[in-house]
Chains A and B, each alone.
Chain A
Amino acid sequence: MRPDARHERVGPVATVVEQRRTIVRMGALGTMPTDTVLDRVLGTGATGHRDVHADMTAAHDAAWAAVSPRLLELCRVRIATMLGCEVEANARTADSDAPAELLDAIGAWPTDHRFEAADRACLAFTEHYVIDVASVDDATVAAVRDHLGDDGVQSFVSALLVVEQRIRLRLMWDRLFAAGAPGSMED
């Protein structure tokens, strides 16, 4: 597509401002579950991005089907605590089979004997992934591969991307659409 043709599809600034006002009027996003936040920002028609919302939902469902829910839940909660997303850190995924006491102690995984070897390998990978994805070293990948196999590593990393992306997006929206936030356009 020609760049200028793409420009022609950009809506007027007034439309964007009105979209933001609509989302803000829905109430503070900061305390809502991530599913609700995604629905309010993308799925309500306020921004007209229902296709993105549907694709993100499909990827989320696929991620939880492709990877051990226990491992993904441990990693989701670890990502949430690292990024400071309180709602996600406190949320629990139904039927994940991740013990509540482990989720409550997620920050202690390196020394807590209740975490299994596969948990540790995946959590170490997850921390490295969140901090600096480009510098994840061979040993960290190999440890995950030892437990999940080659295809399992690839699915795990893809699932991690889905989970991390959702948390980062909601954190950004929490701030962007918060009433009274810096740069707020409320009347």
Chain B
Amino acid sequence: MERERRVAAGTTADPTLRRALGAIAASTVRLATVDPVTTEIVRMRCAKHHDCGT
């Protein structure tokens, strides 16, 4: 679904917070306790739930 912009182009979250969220994503991706198939299914489910097409 296409949406209009809700914030101005170039808007960013607080830089420290943005970097911290990126670090969580990176460290989570590095986890290897769960097998790749389950990990991918969960990732896709989360993307669908969040309406994230990226």
Interface residue? A70 (CB, 8 A): no
| Contact call A7/B35, Cβ cutoff below 8 A | yes
**Complex interface: chain B residues within 8 A of A159 (CB):** 17
| Contact call B36/A59, Cβ cutoff below 8 A | no
| Contact call A162/B21, Cβ cutoff below 8 A | yes
Known: A9-B32, A59-B20, A59-B21. A151 touches B27 (CB 8 A): no
Q: Is the interface of B mostly helix, strand, loop or mixed?
A: loop
Residues of chain B at interface, number, CB under 8 A: 30
Q: How far is the CB of A52 from chain B (nearest CB, A)?
A: 5
The residues of B with any CB-CB pair to A shorter than 8 Å are: 3-4, 6-8, 11-14, 16-21, 23-24, 26-28, 30-36, 49-51
The residues of A with any CB-CB pair to B shorter than 8 Å are: 3, 6-7, 9-11, 16, 47, 49, 51-52, 55-56, 58-59, 61-63, 65-67, 133-135, 138, 141-142, 145, 150-151, 153-155, 157-159, 161-162
